[in-house]
Structure 1
Amino acid sequence: MPDNCITSGEIKIFLHHIYELQKGVRNMALCTLNTADADFAIKRLQRLNISFFKQELGNSNINLFFGKEECIQTVRLIINRPLNCLSPEEDFIIGALLGYGISQQCQRYAARKTAVLKTA
């Protein structure tokens, strides 16, 4: 996909995340893209020398994590199954890496952990 023909809303969001990474607003981002857009996105990340991790979703979509190398190394160690199957602790770490509000992440963690303990 040539740079001057970008029409996908997902690609526009992807490019905005790159802008924020380059400006230091965030350390890592996550975009869910269809496989048609994935090739463009991965080539852009490679050209900009931005580390990334691709998670196949099996429904013609991928999750594309990208950002600082140390963040992506951590993602590679944690993401080995669908995101909804992560433990509350793993979910908390991923949310923190993505820059989600810590207070919100604490609330989410407590709710998820409580649910896990109730089913045990």
Structure 2
Amino acid sequence: MEVFIHHIYEFEKGIRNLILHTISPKHLEFVKKRLESKGISYKIYEISNGNYNVFFGSKSCIEVIKKIGKSNLSRYTAEEDFILGIMLGYDRKKQCERYIQFKEKENLKTS
């Protein structure tokens, strides 16, 4: 939970606008209560192994996650994956390379 607390610190200091944090079920209530007590927007998705992906941060970023509306990250399109990576603050050049690889694999499947 130390990493989770540090992620909140980074959000509050303006270092990050969106965070993705994976937790076990035993931490779910603690995480919800902490985010709510601080007035931080969030969206939680249960993942296949029983854990949870917790997206939290600015309201507009969480709205984008909700609009994408996919609980399974592996179902994101190349474009959605690219947007998410950029929003999470991942290296832009690496995200561009990842997008290109994703699209090349897509093209192989359809040809």
Which TM-score band applies after superposition, normalised by the shorter structure?
over 0.9
The amino acid of 1:20's aligned partner reads E
Structural RMSD (CA): 0.9
Q: Alpha-carbon deviations, 1:65-116, whole Å to 9, x = none?
A: 0000000000011132410111110000111111111111001000011101
In structure 1, C-alpha distance between the alignment counterparts of 2:36 and 2:42, rounded to whole Å: 9
In structure 2, C-alpha distance between the alignment counterparts of 1:81 and 1:12, rounded to whole Å: 25
| Unpaired runs of at least 5, structure 2 | none
* Structure 2 counterparts to residues 1-120 of structure 1, below 5 A: 11-120=1-110
Instruction: State how many pairs are aligned.
Output: 110
Question: How many percent of aligned residue pairs carry the same amino acid?
Answer: 39
Q: Which segment drifts farther, 93-102 or 66-75?
A: 93-102
Q: Is the 8 A contact 2:17 2:88 kept in 1?
A: yes
How high is the TM-score relative to the length of structure 2?
0.95
How high is the TM-score relative to the length of structure 1?
0.88
| Unpaired runs of at least 5, structure 1 | 1-10
